[in-house]
């Protein structure tokens, strides 16, 4: 760096490799995003964008605490100046209103960007579902894990992952055999493939692998009687969405059986389960009978981890409650846990919940969901981290 | 970089040309940096500035654009003496030439525009010191604590009083001026005797005298909080002072965006024309230049509008009309006139005085606003367009907020007023900012504004936000 006085300017190029400031603050920003996700979990978990995305990787959700708030003008309510090509007329459309979450960046500071892209810079944080999962599942744990270990079944599988000198002719490894022959011939003076001796032969050989196979099945039961509206179903849907994703982190495969019931129960498709409404009263035991039947038919408890979850608004025919309790006990014998979620926005008196309160079994979990954010709390309650695991 | 020697020669040539045109700039320091460094400086607005996540967010965005190949040519110049300019180490020679020509004109503007006359020319060092002080406070009081305080200040950092001739908070000025006067009368060196105590005494006296705080609406919210908040610790006052200093330094740049960029673009074009470029270089330059000065349908590109106005002024003053001659204009004085404009005006007066009806028509400018789901052109009238541009530049583009009362309801509550001028505030944002002000003030904060034609008062009491019609 020489100071060229006569020029009155200096050109210098220094080693900047230790200058990490931008990256450090970027990392702090990332930490803040993670933090914000954690704080907003109750809202995020029931965010419609996510539930309806079918698990697409990225979702756009406004993470509010990360905006740099200023006292600023309302962009939508003010006039702006633009320039046309010479033929603009009153009434011409110059732009479409962007989606929600408009956040034009206040570009203070003096870093000027030549030809700065005109127009507003709408900011919305993009968050991957994986990030939300990471934050959410950190707080969850599968109860009764010992059960899972017992039900792990071992499958034997062969994998060709070894090479030996002896073996079946059908499994000869041509490439390796030729290579060996080549090397040996080269040592003897001539680098060629032939002749190939017995000693050059190489065979692919298998080993037996023991694989722990773990399967889980969720028996999703829901009251589809007239009293269950769109809101109740949405809550159930959000819950099952996250439950599915959570179990997938614990098991290799997770299957779902959807059992819809009013006065009688039947196995339906996922779509029908969440969209169809039926009329009539409610007999919950019908769903439990069906669930037991399904377990009997398809899901052997020694092979499957079974998670029956029932969502209802709690309006059950009182005479049925006793049967229900009995059946829940039967179900619990075969499954890892039994969850009962009651969507009850208005604090109605619920006959079913009252009956269930008498059940005392660590496998039995129940939760009353009053609003969207309760999906998160229900998840936490059902899959509570117990102290000794922390 | 293809040879520093080549670059040095180019700089020498461009500097000569620029001087020949009459540009007057500080000694220049050109630093050649890799992309992540340049974008770091760009995000922070300074080579060294205090640590905050919002800069990290900005840096990430800029760097990402660069990595994806989306960012255009980037110029970064610091208003300081000597003046620092940063060149990307992957720039081609012609890119560097354009940038150098451009930043020399910026530097001329920094040195000569009246708005910049009060900015500190040693701000690079000063901000480094600020960064160190704040880092020290982080050590002492914890990162979280300092960060949360910075979050709060940054939300209102623009609400200072940047007047060139600034009267301090009114009572203080009276005290000071009388004090200073009496000192002067006594003798040249007498003020040295009481250097330590004079400042503190005058402050105390002022608060005792005070009846209504502030006596007249106070524009400098930062200063007001600094002086009168009962909530702040010494270190917090110190940070507040430093943040205010930084904003005072940046303010003229907010106020002269159109002029400053227009001036720089005007000159890089004139200077580049003087250089001996090969055909390939000329083409590359033409492309770069077109990317920089490009009009937009949905906003005003300051580079473009600025250069058009400067060119228009020059043209008109080269060929004055009868009326202009009668008022004392001489022909072919366009160049002189634009030098005068760059010295005397800021964006508001620049647009107000020199955006002519003819220019608005020639540039096909219009007003648009949201109608239903679309943004539609609603106005093509010259006066309306000019006035809208001016009002957007008032107060650097930020809503004008004043402190009306620092002891509202005789309860030490803070009453702010938005000087409503037809543009409503973003209420969602406002509702997030009031808690920040509350954090700084320590008591209920009120802000009066107009929403949907009705005067409305927003109040945050530390727990909840209230909204009421007045």
Residues of chain B positioned with their CB less than 8 A from the CB of A19: 37, 40
* DSSP secondary structure string for all residues of A131-145: HHHHHHHTTB--S-H
Q: Output the 3-class SS for B138-200.
A: HHHHCHHHHHHHHHHHHHHCCCCCCCCCCCCCHHHHHHHHHHHHHHHHHCCCHHHCCHHHHHH
Inform me whether the C-beta atom of residue A88 falls under 8 Å from chain B C-beta atoms: yes
Domain identity same for A258 and A281 = yes
Inform me whether the C-beta atom of residue A209 falls under 8 Å from chain B C-beta atoms: no
Residues 395-414 of B with CB under 8 A from A: 398-399, 401
Residue A226 lies in a domain: yes
Predicted local distance difference test score (pLDDT) of residue A109: 30
Distance CA B4, CA B363 (A): 41
Domain ends where: A212, A236, A261?
Answer: A212
Q: Which of B377, B385, B399, B434 to mutate against chain A (most A CBs within 10 Å)? A: B377
Domain identity same for A202 and A185 = yes
Inform me whether the C-beta atom of residue A2 falls under 8 Å from chain B C-beta atoms: no
Inform me whether the C-beta atom of residue B454 falls under 8 Å from chain A C-beta atoms: no
Residue A8 lies in a domain: no
Residue B287: which residues within 8 A CB-CB, separation 6 or more? none
Predicted local distance difference test score (pLDDT) of residue A35: 80
Q: Are B377 and A89 in contact (CB under 8 A)?
A: yes
Residues 24-53 of A with CB under 8 A from B: 24-32
The rounded mean pLDDT for chain A is: 77
Distance CA B18, CA B268 (A): 9
Q: Are B449 and B400 in contact (CB under 8 A)?
A: no
Average pLDDT over residues B165-185: 47
Residue A383 lies in a domain: yes
Residue A16: which residues within 8 A CB-CB, separation 6 or more? B33, B34, B37
For B324-351, write each residue's pLDDT tens digit.
999 888 999 999 999 999 999 999 999 9
Task: Report the relative pairing of strands B401-408 and A126-128 from DSSP bridges.
Answer: unpaired
Q: Answer yes or no: do B301 and A111 touch at CB < 8 A.
A: no
Nearest CA-CA partner of A311 in A245, A246, A374, A247: A374
Nearest chain B CA: its distance from A329 CA (Å)? 47
Q: Is the pLDDT reported for residue B196 higher than 60?
A: no
Domain identity same for A207 and A276 = no
Q: Answer yes or no: do B293 and A119 touch at CB < 8 A.
A: no
Domain identity same for A266 and A352 = yes
Q: Answer yes or no: do A9 and B71 touch at CB < 8 A.
A: no
Domain identity same for A181 and A254 = no
Nearest CA-CA partner of A222 in A183, A278, A153: A278
Domain identity same for A328 and A364 = yes
Residue A98 lies in a domain: no
Domain identity same for A250 and A171 = no
B182: confidence class by pLDDT, cuts 50, 70, 90: very low
For A324-356, write each residue's pLDDT tens digit.
888 888 888 888 888 888 888 777 777 788 888
Inform me whether the C-beta atom of residue A99 falls under 8 Å from chain B C-beta atoms: no
Q: Which of B31, B32, B53, B307 to mutate against chain A (most A CBs within 10 Å)? A: B53
Domain identity same for A232 and A348 = yes
Q: Output the 3-class SS for A243-275.
A: HHHHHHHHCCEEEEEEEEECCCEEEECHHHHHH
More confident residue, A117 or A226: A226
Q: Answer yes or no: do B364 and A116 touch at CB < 8 A.
A: no
Count of structural domains, chain A: 2
Q: Answer yes or no: do B40 and A22 touch at CB < 8 A.
A: yes
Predicted local distance difference test score (pLDDT) of residue B401: 96
Domain identity same for A179 and A239 = no
Q: Is the pLDDT reported for residue A3 higher than 50?
A: no
Predicted local distance difference test score (pLDDT) of residue B415: 96
Residue A18: which residues within 8 A CB-CB, separation 6 or more? none
Q: Are B347 and B258 in contact (CB under 8 A)?
A: yes
Inform me whether the C-beta atom of residue B373 falls under 8 Å from chain A C-beta atoms: yes
Tell me, what DSSP letter sits at residue A385?
P
Domain identity same for A201 and A292 = no
For A81-123, write each residue's pLDDT tens digit.
999 888 888 888 888 765 433 333 333 233 333 333 333 333 4
Residue A328 lies in a domain: yes
Residues of chain A positioned with their CB less than 8 A from the CB of B75: 112-114
Q: Answer yes or no: do B156 and A71 touch at CB < 8 A.
A: yes
Distance CA A97, CA B354 (A): 32
Q: CA distances (Å), B95 to each of A15, B91, B292, in order?
A: 22, 6, 12
Q: E-strand spans in chain A?
A: 9-13, 58-60, 80-83, 93-96, 126-128, 153-164, 203-213, 215-223, 253-261, 265-268, 304-312, 338-343, 364-369
B27, B45, B376 ranked by CB distance to A109: nearest:
B45
Q: Is the pLDDT reported for residue A286 higher than 80?
A: yes
Predicted local distance difference test score (pLDDT) of residue A126: 64
Predicted local distance difference test score (pLDDT) of residue B173: 40
Residues 92-121 of B with CB under 8 A from A: 102
Residues of chain B positioned with their CB less than 8 A from the CB of A64: 432
Distance CA B144, CA A31 (A): 12
Domain ends where: A212, A229, A254?
Answer: A212
Distance CA B319, CA B365 (A): 24
Interface confidence: ipTM more than 0.85: no
Domain identity same for A234 and A294 = yes
Q: Are B353 and B345 in contact (CB under 8 A)?
A: yes
Q: Answer yes or no: do A82 and B373 touch at CB < 8 A.
A: no
Alpha helices in B293-379 (DSSP H): 302-318, 322-326, 334-344, 347-354, 357-362
B56, B418, B432 ranked by CB distance to A28: nearest:
B56
Q: Are B444 and B462 in contact (CB under 8 A)?
A: yes
The two three-digit tokens of residue A321, written as one number:
């409650």
Q: Are A226 and A280 in contact (CB under 8 A)?
A: yes
Q: Is the pLDDT reported for residue A36 higher than 90?
A: no
Residue A231 lies in a domain: yes
Residue A168 lies in a domain: yes
The rounded mean pLDDT for chain B is: 88
Distance CA A331, CA B128 (A): 68
Nearest chain B CA: its distance from A52 CA (Å)? 24
Domain identity same for A200 and A264 = no
CATH number assigned to the domain comprising residue A277: 3.40.50.410
Range of the domain at A177: 153-212
Overall pTM > 0.90: no
Domain ends where: A167, A183, A212?
Answer: A212
Residues 201-240 of B with CB under 8 A from A: none
């Amino acid at each position: 760096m020489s100071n060229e006085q006569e020029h009155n300017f200096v050109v210098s190029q220094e080693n900047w490799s230790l200058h990490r400031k931008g990256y450090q603050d970027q990392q702090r920003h990332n930490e803040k995003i993670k933090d914000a996700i954690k704080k907003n979990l109750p809202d995020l978990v029931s965010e419609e964008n996510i539930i309806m995305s079918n698990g697409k990787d990225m979702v756009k959700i406004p993470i509010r605490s990360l905006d740099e708030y200023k006292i600023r003008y309302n962009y939508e309510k003010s006039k702006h100046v633009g320039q046309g090509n010479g033929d603009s007329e009153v009434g011409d459309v110059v732009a479409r209103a962007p989606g929600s979450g408009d956040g034009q960046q206040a570009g203070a500071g003096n870093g000027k960007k030549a030809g700065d892209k005109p127009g507003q810079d709408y900011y919305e944080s993009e968050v991957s579902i994986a990030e939300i999962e990471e934050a959410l599942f950190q707080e969850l744990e599968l109860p009764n894990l010992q059960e899972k270990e017992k039900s792990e079944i071992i499958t034997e599988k062969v994998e060709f992952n070894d090479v030996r000198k002896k073996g079946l002719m059908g499994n000869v490894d041509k490439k390796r055999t030729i290579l060996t022959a080549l090397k040996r011939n080269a040592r003897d003076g001539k680098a060629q493939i032939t002749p190939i001796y017995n000693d050059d032969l190489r065979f692919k050989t298998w080993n037996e692998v023991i694989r722990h196979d773990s399967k889980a099945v969720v028996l999703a039961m829901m009251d589809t009687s007239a009293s269950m509206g769109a809101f109740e179903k949405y809550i159930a849907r959000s819950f099952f969405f996250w439950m599915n994703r959570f179990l997938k982190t614990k098991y290799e495969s997770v299957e779902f059986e959807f059992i819809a019931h009013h006065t009688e129960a039947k196995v339906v498709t996922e779509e029908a389960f969440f969209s169809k409404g039926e009329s009539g009263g409610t007999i919950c035991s019908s769903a439990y009978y069906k669930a037991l039947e399904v377990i009997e038919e398809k899901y052997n408890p020694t092979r499957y981890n079974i998670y029956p979850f029932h969502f209802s608004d709690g309006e059950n025919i009182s005479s049925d409650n006793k049967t229900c309790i009995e059946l829940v006990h039967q179900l619990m014998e075969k499954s890892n846990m039994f969850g009962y979620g009651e969507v009850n926005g208005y604090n109605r008196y619920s006959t079913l919940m009252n009956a269930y309160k008498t059940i005392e079994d660590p496998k039995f979990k129940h939760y009353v969901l009053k609003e969207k954010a309760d999906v998160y709390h229900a998840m936490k309650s059902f899959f509570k981290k117990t102290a000794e695991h922390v | 970089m293809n040879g520093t020697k080549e670059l040095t020669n180019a700089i020498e040539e461009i500097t000569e040309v620029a001087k020949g045109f009459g540009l007057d700039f500080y000694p220049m320091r050109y630093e050649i940096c890799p992309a992540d460094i340049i974008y770091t400086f760009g995000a922070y607005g300074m080579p060294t500035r205090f640590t905050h996540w919002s800069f990290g967010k900005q840096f990430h965005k800029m760097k990402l654009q660069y990595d994806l190949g989306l960012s255009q040519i980037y110029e970064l110049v610091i208003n300081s003496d000597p003046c620092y300019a940063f060149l990307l180490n992957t720039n081609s020679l012609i890119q560097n030439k354009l940038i150098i020509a451009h930043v020399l004109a910026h530097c001329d503007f920094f040195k000569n525009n009246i708005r910049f006359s009060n900015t500190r020319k040693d701000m690079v060092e000063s901000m480094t010191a600020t960064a160190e002080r704040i880092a020290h406070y982080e050590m002492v009081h914890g990162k979280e604590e300092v960060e949360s305080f910075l979050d709060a200040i940054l939300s209102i950092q623009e609400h200072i009083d940047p007047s060139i001739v600034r009267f301090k908070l009114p009572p203080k000025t009276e005290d000071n001026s009388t004090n200073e006067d009496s000192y002067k009368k006594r003798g040249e060196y007498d003020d040295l005797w009481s250097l330590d105590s004079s400042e503190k005494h005058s402050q105390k006296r002022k608060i005792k005298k005070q009846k209504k705080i502030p006596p007249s609406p106070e524009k400098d919210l930062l200063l007001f909080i600094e002086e009168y908040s009962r909530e702040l610790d010494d270190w917090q006052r110190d940070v507040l002072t430093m943040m205010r200093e930084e904003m005072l330094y940046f303010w003229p740049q907010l106020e002269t965006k159109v002029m400053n960029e227009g001036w720089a673009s005007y000159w890089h074009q004139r200077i580049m024309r003087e250089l001996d470029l090969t055909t390939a270089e000329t083409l590359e330059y033409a492309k770069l230049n077109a990317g920089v000065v490009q009009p937009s349908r949905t906003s005003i590109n300051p580079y473009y509008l600025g250069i058009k106005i400067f060119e228009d002024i020059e043209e008109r003053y080269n060929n004055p009309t009868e009326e202009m001659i009668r008022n004392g204009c001489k022909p072919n004085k366009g160049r002189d006139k634009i030098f005068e404009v760059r010295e005397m005006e800021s964006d508001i007066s620049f647009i107000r005085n020199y955006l002519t009806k003819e220019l608005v028509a020639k540039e096909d400018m219009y007003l648009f606003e949201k109608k239903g789901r679309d943004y539609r052109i609603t106005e093509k009238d010259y006066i309306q367009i000019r006035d809208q541009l001016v009002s957007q530049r008032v107060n650097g583009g930020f809503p004008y907020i004043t402190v009306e009362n620092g002891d509202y309801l005789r309860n030490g509550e803070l009453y702010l007023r938005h000087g409503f001028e037809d543009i409503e505030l973003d209420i969602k944002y406002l509702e997030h900012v009031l808690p920040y002000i509350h954090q700084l003030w320590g008591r209920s904060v009120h802000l009066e504004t107009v929403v949907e034609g009705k005067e409305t008062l927003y109040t945050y009491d530390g727990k909840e936000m209230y909204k009421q019609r007045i």
